[in-house]
Amino acid sequence: MKIKAALVKEAGQPFSIEEVELAAPKADEVLVKIVASGVCHTDEVAQMQIIPVPLPAVFGHEGCGIIEEVGNHVTDFKKGDHVSFSFGYCGKCENCMSAKPYICKSLNDINFGGVMADGTKRLSQNGQEISSFFGQSSFATYAVVNQNSVVKIDDTVDLALVGPLGCGIQTGAGAVLNRLRPEFGSTIAVYGCGTVGMSAIMAAKIAGCATIIAIGGNPKSLALAKELGATHTINRKECDDIVAKVKEITKGGASYAIDTSGVPDFVRKALACVGLGGTAVVLGATGDLTINVQSELMGEGKSLIGVIEGDAVPKLFIPELLNYYRAGKFPFDKLITYYKFEDINQAFADSHSGKTIKAVLKMI
């Protein structure tokens, strides 16, 4: 079928909305009419080819919509269901079978290799195959998605709101609720006040952290962080020694720290600001980092860990986050600004500049 999609043909090229061909869903896939899709830094990283997804490609990996058609082997979904999408995984390897799809052995192939779980593509233009992204390519009017990645959404929830739960929001919230599982009354420092950082802050409040420190450079975002649960804020542009300030607030060092920026220096600061036995988490795509293992890590019994997609099983975790939202404990809607699909390049520009925390494209 003919659809409209935001195409990237060369590294760093702006998104171009063009007509492409979408193949019919296979036996274990569904065809979805896209309602909305979140804009994520990971899309930009792939657009710039920092993550070398084969081009041409259609990005977008925080999609949501309404099912139009289901494959012959799909039993849990039907036409008309409201759904959101998350990352792709095989569902067959030992990690997937152990309820750890976020470390699926085919995770990189499916999400960044430009192909679906079976190794083939669904998109094309004038006979040339087009790469998919995260097994969905939701910067489009329609998408074919494997049933593994699809989460049914209660139709009483505004469907356009839920797309970002599939990546950025579940990454930040899941790092806290699924991986760290902080002790009640503990302390946490969060570097970065974008979608991932704000989600971690809201989750830390749910978990009962007594001290939640938001570190960022945008005064409006820092004010929102306080509204969402931060007990303290540090403006990195005005503070000469962030680590010392965190240690002052926490009386010796935080129990946990999370870096969402992907900036090596902030990862190192996150590690430095936790106390003896503390844990620092890396959530952003980060380059080379040099540390003295004895003095900065092992000598103080610290841990530096990477967390993928919030250690989440999306079919379980996304409904859990929506329950917190309904209860008024996870107001992620305060992060979102909507854009028309045709304004996709402006949405990315506003996200990159910090004007918008979470841009969401509306296709209908």
Quick: pLDDT tens for 91-104.
999 999 999 999 99
Mean pLDDT value across residues 284-293: 91
Which pair of tokens denotes residue 265?
A: 């220096």
- What single DSSP character describes residue 295? I
Which pair of tokens denotes residue 332?
A: 């992620």
What is the value of pTM for the model shown?
A: 0.95
Mean pLDDT value across residues 215-230: 97
Beta-carbon contacts of 351 under 8 Å, excluding residues fewer than 6 positions away, are: 39, 41, 44, 357, 358, 359
DSSP string covering 34-51: EEEEE--HHHHHHHTTSS
Per-residue buried b or exposed e for 39-71, using 16+ beta carbons within 10 Å of the residue's own CB: bbbbbbbbbeeebebebbbbbbbbbbbbbebbb
> Would the pLDDT of 351 be above 90?
yes
Radius of gyration of the chain (CA): 20
Show the domains of the chain with their CATH numbers.
2-166+331-362 (3.90.180.10), 172-307 (3.40.50.720)
Share the mean pLDDT of the chain.
96
> Would the pLDDT of 337 be above 90?
yes
The pLDDT assigned to 135 comes to 96
Tell me the per-residue pLDDT of 291-310, one tens digit each, with 9 for 90 and over: 999 999 999 999 999 999 99
Share above pLDDT 90 across residues of the chain, in percent, rounded to a whole number:
96
Mean pLDDT value across residues 325-339: 97
Confidence of residue 169 (pLDDT cuts 50, 70, 90): very high
Tell which phi-psi region holds residue 262, choosing left (phi > 0), alpha (psi between -120 and 50) or beta. left
Tell me the per-residue pLDDT of 15-71, one tens digit each, with 9 for 90 and over: 999 999 999 999 999 999 999 999 998 999 999 999 999 999 999 999 999 999 999
The pLDDT assigned to 156 comes to 86
The pLDDT assigned to 249 comes to 98
**Are the C-beta atoms of residues 129 and 189 closer than 8 Å to each other?**
no
The pLDDT assigned to 364 comes to 83
The pLDDT assigned to 187 comes to 98
The pLDDT assigned to 358 comes to 97
Which pair of tokens denotes residue 215?
A: 């570190």
Beta-carbon contacts of 49 under 8 Å, excluding residues fewer than 6 positions away, are: 11, 12, 55
Tell me the per-residue pLDDT of 128-149, one tens digit each, with 9 for 90 and over: 999 999 999 999 999 999 999 9
**Distances 317 to 13, 37, 161, 282, 314 between C-alpha atoms, Å:** 35, 19, 16, 20, 5
Mean pLDDT value across residues 326-353: 96
**Are the C-beta atoms of residues 228 and 205 closer than 8 Å to each other?**
yes
**Are the C-beta atoms of residues 324 and 207 closer than 8 Å to each other?**
no
Interatomic CA distance for residues 68 and 208, integer angstroms: 42
> Would the pLDDT of 242 be above 90?
yes
Task: Give Cα 89 to chain centroid, integer Å.
Answer: 15
Confidence of residue 287 (pLDDT cuts 50, 70, 90): confident
**Are the C-beta atoms of residues 59 and 133 closer than 8 Å to each other?**
yes
- What single DSSP character describes residue 333? G
Confidence of residue 285 (pLDDT cuts 50, 70, 90): confident
The pLDDT assigned to 155 comes to 85
Confidence of residue 209 (pLDDT cuts 50, 70, 90): very high
